[in-house]
């Protein structure tokens, strides 16, 4: 069971199903057949947004389930059993029942290009991927504009 956490009341998760924005950003997962996701941004309250103000959370199925199976097989020793936490209820209710989630820190770093925080959970049974990222950017795209001071 996914822990929905108390933070849910702080944001609104409107589920989107357009695959193109996810496919353009999460390129390490191959072609996407379907996805359900939400981009969560806090209300603007007069302050300058910080680096973790946008959160992208969702679940996807690849066009070729073999891509997920190959990642799990080739990198199997890197993955550990885990339970995703603080997933919005709107996404939690879309997750496969009886999922067996595993996660690899090495895959997380590779998929994000170390440009943003992102966690990717793989379900061995359904070949679905749950993603939870803060301010995701394309790792092969332009670098984020960082302002210091």
- 112, exposed or middle or buried, with CB in 10 Å at 0-12, 13-18, 19+? buried
| pLDDT band, residue 145 (cuts 50/70/90) | very low
- What is the per-residue pLDDT across 33-54, written as a single tens digit (0 to 9) for each? 999 999 988 666 666 655 547 8
**CA nearest to 79, candidates 133, 124, 27:** 124
**Confidence band, pLDDT 50/70/90 cuts, at residue 9:** very low
Q: Please give the torsion angle defined by the CA atoms of residues 147, 48, 5 and 127, in that order, rounded to the nearest 10 degrees.
A: -40
What is the predicted pLDDT for the residue at 10?
59
Mean pLDDT on 55-84: 91
Could you tell me the two tokens for 46?
Answer: 């007069």
Round the average pLDDT of the chain to a whole number and report it.
83
For position 43, what pLDDT does the model report?
62
Q: What is the pLDDT of residues 111-143, one digit of tens each?
A: 998 889 999 999 989 999 999 999 888 777 655
> Would you state the pLDDT for residue 149?
36
**C-alpha 4, offset from chain centre:** 15
- State residue 44's pLDDT score: 60
């Amino acid at each position: 069971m996914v822990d929905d956490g108390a933070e849910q009341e702080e944001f609104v998760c409107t589920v989107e199903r357009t695959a193109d924005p996810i496919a353009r950003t999460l390129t390490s997962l191959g072609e996407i057949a379907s996805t359900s996701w939400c981009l969560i941004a806090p209300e603007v309250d007069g302050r300058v947004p910080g680096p973790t103000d946008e959160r992208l959370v969702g679940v996807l199925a690849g066009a070729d389930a073999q891509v997920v199976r190959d990642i799990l097989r080739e990198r199997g020793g890197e993955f550990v059993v885990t339970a995703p936490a603080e997933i919005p209820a709107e996404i939690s209710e879309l997750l496969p029942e009886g999922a067996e989630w595993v996660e690899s820190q090495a895959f997380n770093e590779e998929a994000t290009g170390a440009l943003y925080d992102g966690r990717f959970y793989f379900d061995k049974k359904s070949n679905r991927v749950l993603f939870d990222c803060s301010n995701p950017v394309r790792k092969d795209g332009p670098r984020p504009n960082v302002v210091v001071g």
